[in-house]
Amino acid sequence: MSSGRDKISMIVFSGTEDKLIPVGVISQAAAALGYEVNIFFTGWAMFKLLKNPPPPVWPKEFEQFVPRLQEGMARIKAPTWLDMVREAKKMGAKIYVCSMMASAAGLKKEDFDPSLVDDIVGVTTFLEMAKGGQVLFI
Amino acid sequence: MSQSNKLLVDARGLSCPGPITELVKAYRNAKNGDIIEVWATDPGFEPDIKAWISRTGNQLVELRKEQDRIVAVIRVTAKK
């Protein structure tokens, strides 16, 4: 699978907004720079890709900063993390869901938003895709 | 020799990584010799444009701060 291009892969585990925002920012920037981008959604983050995703969640310990950050995001007209991921996808980024976690949660491919999820794959496939590049666990 | 173009990318108001994304969109359709001028207000744009230039090997003709924007003038030289 090695393309000779720079490559960044992300294992996205946390489903909280504070972690998903950098997923959007990094994937959009990397895709714009021509990196091969593979994002592997597992854990709680996987549910954010459902056709009917759960509402945004912020970690309890940072709760007091959330309104300030949300107002700031609105003020600078920052796109949502999902908009940034969609932009990255337009530039070639790929999104995968962990098959083991999907099975554990009783989720099938048709439960996920097909405009976001490219495939449900096992970790073997993901590691093979990530081989030789940078990997972030978020 | 084909004629070189001058393109303007107005990325004012966009936060990171918006300005670089908009630049890359314009860059895709550009050819060697073209000039791309980018306007941005994101405070990270100055180091970001330098990083982009160092990565892509294009030429940064000018980078200046004006009162209400950062202006980067790029000459496209690294298209294959």
- Whether complex ipTM tops 0.95: no
State yes or no: is B62 an active-site residue.
no
pLDDT in tens, chain A (138 residues): 445 689 999 999 999 999 999 999 999 999 999 999 999 999 999 999 999 999 999 999 999 999 999 999 999 989 999 999 999 999 999 999 999 999 999 999 999 999 999 999 999 889 999 999 999 999
* CB nearest B21 (choices: A76, A78, A87): A87
The residue whose two tokens read 């303007």 is B8
Structure tokens at B80: 């294959």
E strand residue ranges, B1-80: 6-11, 35-40, 59-65, 70-75
Tell me if A101 sits within 8 A of A46, measured CB to CB.
Answer: yes
Q: A55: distance to nearest CA of chain B, Å?
A: 24
Of B8, B13, B15, B16, which is the active-site residue? B16
Q: Per DSSP, what are the bridge partners of residue A38? A: A9, A94
What is the C-alpha to C-alpha distance for residues B67 and B12, in angstroms, rounded to an integer? 13
Structure tokens at A96: 């995968």
Tell me if A48 sits within 8 A of A19, measured CB to CB.
Answer: no
